[in-house]
Chains A and B, each alone.
Chain A
Amino acid sequence: MEWSFLLVQALSGLASASSLFVIASGLTIVFGVTRIVNFAHGSFYMLGAYVAVTLVPWLLEFERSPTLFFVGVLASAIAVGVLGVVMEVTLLRRIYRVPELFQLLATFGVVLIVQDLVLLIWGPVEIAGPRAPGLRHGVYILDQRFPAYELFLIFVGPAVLALLWLLMHRTRFGVLIRAATQDREMVGALGVNQAMLFTGTLFLGAALAGLGGALQIPRVSASSQMDLSIITEAFVVTVIGGMGSVPGAFIAALLIGLLQAFGVLIFPKITLVLVFLLMAAVLVVKPWGLLGRPDAAAGRAVLPEGILDPGRLDRAGKVLLALGLITVLALPLVDAYAVKVGTEVLILALAAVSLNFLVGNGGIVSFGHAAYFGLGAYGAGLLVVKAGMPMEPALIAAPIAGGAAAALFGFFVVRLSGIYLAMLTLAFAQIAYAVVFQWVEVTGGDNGLVGVWPSRWAASREVYHYLTAVVTLAAIVFLRRVIHAPFGATLRAARDSAQRADAIGVDVRMHRWLGFTLAGAAAGLAGGLYAFSKGSIDPTLLGIPMSVDFLSMILLGGIQSVLGPVAGAAAFHALKDFFLPLTDHWRLFLGLSIIGMVLVFPRGLAGAFASLRRRPA
């Protein structure tokens, strides 16, 4: 290959890196200060692009000048920043005191709402923005033509980095941001107005995302799917760089931009997973990212988020449980469709309980739990479709497949903690997704495989429902038993203080690893049951949306409760099933109800139930 080509390819990579950095810097600042994993950051990026494709052409009507173009871009960024403030004041401010994960759920609700609002306001057709006046042409670099606008973009990233550095080191606001990133409680104790600080941070973060989106309009069209396509990459950049570290994000963006630019030359099909492979590799070697630091609060005794005392069921709990059981058994009396939905709720409940076994009991927040669910489904489905085995052995293989994958990934995962652990689970899930997606000969690629139907005796909806009920309830009871057993208590001890658990002789990593494997096996079993209820398997079972669904279920149900996730699964699935047929805008209503539930039941359904019990009537 010629040098001129390699140079231009590197410049392409730098341009992408620069754009990626602008977006990721906002995400990393917001996380550093507020500790919120802001899923809505991608939505701000999308809104930046949409505002810009509306505003900039209007401005260019007056005069096609570069000045007006960039005035429009900056105005779009500020407008999006204001939207960030709106989100902070109306939503996030109300939930700073609830478990951190809840804020993640709330921002996920915002993602759903923004997706549909964008469709309502701008319509479904993607909108191409104007090119930047004065930067439309290509520039010759040696013998290769390169877009002038991308040459300009290459300088935007370092410029934003420099401005952020000035802001962080030369202004009081910046100093406070840095202080809060290091120790939020201390900043509060010193009398800093946290509300103002958080609002300002959200403005800055959202405006950077909006700027990133607005700067893209001469290159890509504004479409309603651009939010989710950017958010994972932005997360990867912030994690590789170290959450909260702006220079780290810059280095990580450079790495990823160049990796993609040259990666397409060597592995044109692997772009899907390249960034996740890089993230997994970085996290295995550097558990806090390139420039990140261990959380200052990590060694401090904090009230854990999760199951405090599994406890026994009181009378009300038992009544509720009995009612639930009767409902499960009586569903076939309602109608065939109710049976179908009931079967799915049972399966999702098992998956949710297995996730909460990790999150609530073990403090291991997994963003990639769908991987084990999906691999369980594939384990069972492949045996049926490819090996011609019947359902029974396939259902035994499902938890083995899920457990084996969890054991493999878990070996690396349990070495980390907190958000980095969560992101490593996400990376592994994406790697598993990519394998299933690309290995067309075996897995059927993204079309998946069909023909995964139950054995003849279990073919009817009702029989399969009862079969599912027996298997899932047995598994849930087993997991509950494990939570009550010394093993579960050990996991809680390791969650609350790894050092202290270690000091009394608990092998923390080993216990976490076994717990991770067990949860993976349970999720795999749920996945196997799911495959037979649908008749088909495909990569969406391993995807990020599925993992987010599981997280939503346990959060709705309440992560402090052992059986709360069952209620959460039922509520979440019922909501989705209720809104899906009603309207094209089901995501809007689902998002609104998620946010409504977060605000009304900040400790989940189980938490609400418990506080209702405690309050004398």
Chain B
Amino acid sequence: MTRFTLHRRTLGAVALATLARPAFAQPAPIRIGELNSYARMAAFAVPYRNAMQLAQDAVNAAGGVMGGRRIEFVFRDDGSTPGDAVRVAEELLTRENVSFIAGTFLSNVGLAVADFANQRKRLFLATEPLTDAITMAQGNRYTWRVRPGTYMQTKMLTDAIAGRTALNRWAIVAPNYEYGQSAAANFKRLLATAIPGAEIVAEQFPALGRVDAGATVGALAQSRPDAIFNSLFGPDLTAFVREGNTRGLFERRTVVSLLTGEPEYLIPLGEETPEGWIVTGYPWEQVEAPPAHKAFIEAYRARFNDTPRKGSLLGYVTVQIIANLLNKANTLDNEALVDALADLRTDAIVGPVTMRGLDHQGTLGTWVGETTLNGRQGAMKNARYADGANFLFPEAEVRAARRSA
């Protein structure tokens, strides 16, 4: 009963607000729904949300968007399952009246929300899910991904080892779920061109979060590889590295590893950080250009008394893209927003980021370098920014994959 009265009151308020809007000096803020695994993936998602709030305040302090309207993010936990996430997305769209939605971490959650957005014809900025499917086979008009996906990051690494013909025998270790499997598949494919003649001599796919490190390291060592491709992360990575260090798995071997250079995963490794792994990551303290990045680091550290993570960078860039999009489209009509997003170029804190219209993939890049031990903490050295624009899927491949989209 209360709910019904409340509802009528809301209706009244909405009606009043619509009528009264021209009279208000301050127009209503633009609300954007952001759903992510804040509880389960807190190590990533909380720094991400922090940076989004930082960016939101920066945009609003600079006069807002669309000629003076403030932006306001409505943050929600996505429950880390597709079922919960779709309901939360529905709640954001129907009860919170957000203009469009952004976020999600896990690939299955991202894909389910993407399909939901397509069904409801609302823009969805998939910020973090890495699966290639979200921009390729299961891409749709309303879904756009900001972060470089599995293929792009794997290609950055295989480019870094291209031509090292001494590395003939490769072993692969990857978590047994879509991200790991597709990283392994991409790697195999790209390795054939990077090092012609190289062969895969062992593959290990431990269950996510339950790596039996001793058995896995033993099995990899037994195949006597010249080099190892790894895409384990989080607690699995720590266990794997410790075991590998003690058993000498990494000695005199090249290791190529996805995501390991990101602070999220480098910090827990601490003094166990192996030397000289070729990784993608985010050496925030070494990034000199553009100047806006330094300002971002200072603002972030001052406000949250913490060092930024990869998630922080992604959150900030996402808000920059959204603000730019709103200014350019100058409307909240989702069809117009989607059209405006195609090939939209944003000058972000990492340099220009374009949302490629062909596959809805952002050209946000990442850093490629080597791990090193700096005192008792892990760090990256010889890092350089790999612009995502150079690592996108070939256009023909995109057209073939997205034919249905």
Contacts and interface: CB of A to CB of B under 8 A. Distances in A.
A447 B108 CA distance: 4
A517 interface: no
Interface residues of A, number: 79
Given A223-B234, A225-B235, A585-B39, A445 B177 contact: yes
A451 B115 contact: yes
A448 B239 contact: no
Contacts of A5: 218, 222
B178 A125 contact: no
A312 to B, nearest CB: 29
B83 A220 contact: no
A145 B246 contact: yes
B218 A272 contact: no
Contact of B218 (A219, A261, A344): A261
Contacts of B222: 1, 5, 9, 265
B111 A447 contact: yes
Interface string B198-222: 0000011111011011111011011
B95 A229 contact: no
Given A124-B46, A535-B115, 12 more contacts: A9-B219, A12-B215, A13-B215, A124-B43, A137-B246, A226-B235, A229-B210, A440-B178, A450-B114, A451-B115, A534-B82, A584-B42
B87 A334 contact: no
Contact of B216 (A131, A264, A337, A340): A264
A144 B212 CA distance: 18
B13 to A, nearest CB: 14
A540 to B, nearest CB: 5
Contacts of B267: 125
Contacts of A585: 39
Contacts of B86: 534-536
Contacts of B83: 530, 534, 540-541
Nearest to B241: A128
B153 to A, nearest CB: 18
B: interface residue count bin: 35 or more
A224 B45 CA distance: 14
A540 B205 CA distance: 20
A260 B90 CA distance: 42
B38 interface: yes
Contacts of A127: 268
Contacts of A125: 43, 264, 267-268
Nearest to B265: A126
A218 B176 CA distance: 24
A335 B212 contact: no
A150 interface: yes
6 contacts: A12-B212, A220-B238, A223-B235, A226-B235, A229-B209, A340-B91
Contact of B215 (A9, A138, A453): A9
Interface in A113-143: 116, 119, 124-128, 131, 136-138
Contacts of B210: 229, 233, 271
B108 A446 contact: yes
Contact of B77 (A12, A150, A260, A580): A580
Nearest to B242: A219
A584 B39 contact: yes
Contacts of A9: 215, 218-219, 222
Interface string B73-114: 000110101111011101100110000000000011001101
A336 interface: yes
A334 B9 CA distance: 12
A584 B107 contact: no
B243 interface: yes
B162 to A, nearest CB: 27
Contacts of B344: none
Most buried by B among A144, A219, A268, A341: A268
Nearest to A136: B246
A145 B248 CA distance: 7
B108 A221 contact: no
A131 B87 CA distance: 44
Contact of B88 (A126, A144, A580, A587): A580
Nearest to A269: B205
Contact of A220 (B81, B108, B138, B235): B235
Contact of A334 (B4, B43, B90, B247): B4
A505 interface: no
Contacts of A335: 7, 94-95
B3 A338 contact: yes
Given A128-B270, A581-B91, A16 B235 contact: no
A514 interface: no
Given A265-B219, A453-B119, A138 B248 contact: yes
Contacts of B116: 534-536
A538 interface: yes
B401 interface: no
Question: Which 8 residue pairs spanning A and B have beta carbons closest together?
Answer: A124-B42, A12-B214, A450-B115, A536-B112, A124-B43, A147-B246, A261-B215, A336-B94
A125 B82 CA distance: 24
Contacts of A539: 108
B190 interface: no
B223 to A, nearest CB: 10
Interface string A5-18: 10011001101100
Interface in B154-200: 176-178, 181
A1 B3 CA distance: 70
A333 interface: yes
Nearest to B106: A446
Contacts of B107: 446-447
